[in-house]
Structure 1
Amino acid sequence: MQDLWIVGGSGAALEVWAVARAMEAAGPQPWKVRGFLVINGSLEFNPEGLEVQDESTFLAAPPASSALIVLGLGEPSLREKVAQVYASKGFRFATLIHPSAIIGPACSVGEGSVLMAQAVLETHVKVGEHALLNVGSSIAHNGSLGACCSLGPGVRLAGWVTLGNRCDLGVGSCVRPRVTLGPDTRVGAGAAIVADHPGSATLVGVPAVPRPAS
């Protein structure tokens, strides 16, 4: 039985823990949640008796290599940086899929990704490493998500949608078929994406357009 540590101390970590707990309730897992790794001991919720360790202390004297890591961090770029730190220390990452999630045929989910309750991958969908698919998000056929993407609750991606690395789509947003969004695209809540964008911008509105720089 491997120890599973969740990195983070805010809402995303709490939601990741809920997925792990649901998986444990559904049947035996090769791991057991040990606790949370947080910055400066800051935790925004009650861990129900689980351990809480400062991340820097944990990394200075890591436990046995059998320990697994999962990232409870909502910000895609931060998730990428933290994943690189733990990978450099030799840690492996757990992939968590809520029992109510639906994974269709010919789909793949990258190491370290988390699929929350009622997330749906229809068919021939590829999800990169350390992606975070929130409650009720769905990806239609032939979709592709790069590493460290985040889909908010209720996000809808139509068929043949491609997202580059570190894209972050807000709650209730949607993307029409065959649209490609480049790396580091942010999409506002409720936005409707109807055209390709090269990335590194925030798209808002219906139909969505780049938000002017402030």
Structure 2
Amino acid sequence: MRDLVIIGAGGFGRETIDTVRAINEIVPTWRLLGVVDDALSPNNESRLAALGVAYLGPLGSVPDDAAVAIAVGSPSTRAAILQRLDGGFDFPALVHPSTTIGSAFSHGVGLITLAGVSIGTNVRVGDHVHLNAHAVIGHDTVASDFVSINPNATVSGAVQIGEGVLVGAASVVLQGVSIAPRATVGAGACVVKDVGSHRTVKGVPAR
């Protein structure tokens, strides 16, 4: 088993703990040393304790020889954390065993998928991509680095998603749409046309 540290004690960080435990139930893979967080709240401290997971301290507490999962929901915060980390850390893919994966799937480092994710054929995702519970990623979709697809979102086929995009919970992105870097799709939105960089769209149809 390999040592693993999770960065982030919030909701996504604790759901990543569930993913790690689910992986270990199938094949013992990870020895979870604990969680680091620069701003641990009392609520998250008690929630970690209830899970039996140690709090190791702020970001500088990551052991040099441990694998690391950046389990923070905000794409921009994930990118900032990566810039702050010193040394050549290993960022493994943590894929929940219930994830279904189509043929010809490729991904970068730091991928995290939660329970029930569905990935179609010929999907490509970049580094530090988060696919939240029950997200659906359609065929031939490309998602760049630091993308977050939130719970129950559906991304149709042949969608292009730029770096740092957040696709909100229960939203739908229709086939062939392009979403430019650092845009945000609001929860429950239906995206029917391309979205520009740094734009936030919401509603049905999304505007």
**Distance (Å, rounded) in 1 between the aligned partners of 2:40 and 2:159:** 39
What secondary structure does 1:36 align onto? strand
Q: Which residue of 1 aligns with 2:18?
A: 18
- Calculate the TM-score normalised by the size of structure 2: 0.93
Deviations 1:47-71 (A, max 9, x none): 433221122441xxx5342x10001
**Distance (Å, rounded) in 1 between the aligned partners of 2:178 and 2:110:** 23
- Tell me the percent identity: 33
Q: Which residue of 1 aligns with 2:56?
A: 53
What secondary structure does 1:46 align onto? helix
Deviations 1:99-136 (A, max 9, x none): 00011110012210101111111100001110110111
Q: Which residue of 2 aligns with 1:142?
A: 140
Deviations 1:155-187 (A, max 9, x none): 111110010001001110011111000001101
**Distance (Å, rounded) in 1 between the aligned partners of 2:60 and 2:39:** 10
**Distance (Å, rounded) in 1 between the aligned partners of 2:200 and 2:153:** 16
Unpaired runs of at least 5, structure 2:
none
Q: Is the 8 A contact 1:41 1:53 kept in 2?
A: no
Unpaired runs of at least 5, structure 1:
210-214
- Calculate the TM-score normalised by the size of structure 1: 0.90
Number of matched pairs:
203
Amino acid at match of 1:167: V
Comparing 40-49 with 173-182, greater Cα deviation is found at: 40-49
Deviation of 1:38 after TM superposition, in Å, equals: 1.2
Residue 84 of structure 2 is aligned to residue 85 of structure 1: yes
Distance verdict in 2 for CA 1:196–1:22, change over 3 Å: same
**Distance (Å, rounded) in 2 between the aligned partners of 1:64 and 1:78:** 21
What is the alpha-carbon root mean square deviation over aligned residues? 1.4
